[in-house]
Amino acid sequence: MAVKFIQKNYVKYNRGKGYRCCHVEALHATPPAADLYTDLLVTKLIQKTGCAGIISTVSRTVIDLNRPPNEDTLEAVTEYRKSIEQIVTHLGIVEENTNQLNVPYLHLSFHGMKDEHYGPLAIEVGTSKGKSCSKEVKDWFEEKLTANIESILPNAKIIFDNKFAGNKSIHLHRLGDGDDYKGYKENFHSFQIELSRTIRKRHRSKMIQVFSDLIDEFQSTFLHDSK
């Protein structure tokens, strides 16, 4: 069944089926300078897991949603952040008085990198040097991702927080960005995932399996009443 998206000016999003405490996104999905195939990956993960998802509909050459807002990008970045708000509100996991989440939440932001960086079979995971997630979840994520990749694509290389450690915007969802964006605090765990072009093009089905398993495992590990 095709994924139905809510269309906005700069993004389109799907709120998920209401029980997976996770969203996946492709913020550089639109040409020119698109991270090719990331939109397809996100759409398939929404279908397979029932999680929510966000896909940009504006090119990063016009507005980069993976950056903190400035005078020129405030409207677009605010719309993107409001999409996240709609997703967590739909899940019913936001504390009304504090705007904090009352259960752990996983945020996977998919991007593309050139094969020249680390070779054709490479994945880099950025956590803004540990600011975008807890140490416990980061350690768990590294262990599970490594095991999943070794079983499905054993020749792939996995790197953490090196060339693409993540723009500071990725940890603002957790820590906040001034009075206008308070962030969701310690239960919000973000990972920026850079995939080489060859992996995105030739091994996308394997990545769907790897990350759908990881989404399921996050739910069963950190949410004891998961469905």
- Domain range summary for the chain, segments of one domain joined by +: 6-222
Kindly tell me the burial class for residue 40, based on how many C-beta atoms sit within 10 Å of its own C-beta (0-12, 13-18, 19 or more). Answer: middle
The phi and psi torsions of 156 (rounded to 5 degrees) equal: -75, 145
DSSP state of 57: -
Full pLDDT tens readout for the chain, 227 residues: 799 999 999 999 999 999 999 999 999 999 999 999 999 999 999 999 999 999 999 999 999 999 999 999 999 999 999 999 999 999 999 998 898 999 999 999 999 999 999 999 999 999 999 999 999 999 999 999 999 999 999 999 999 999 999 888 999 999 999 999 999 999 999 999 999 999 999 999 999 999 999 999 999 999 964 44
Sign of the torsion formed by the C-alpha atoms of 45, 52, 13 and 55:
negative
Domain 6-222 falls under CATH 3.40.630.40: yes
Count CB-CB contacts under 10 A for residue 127: 25
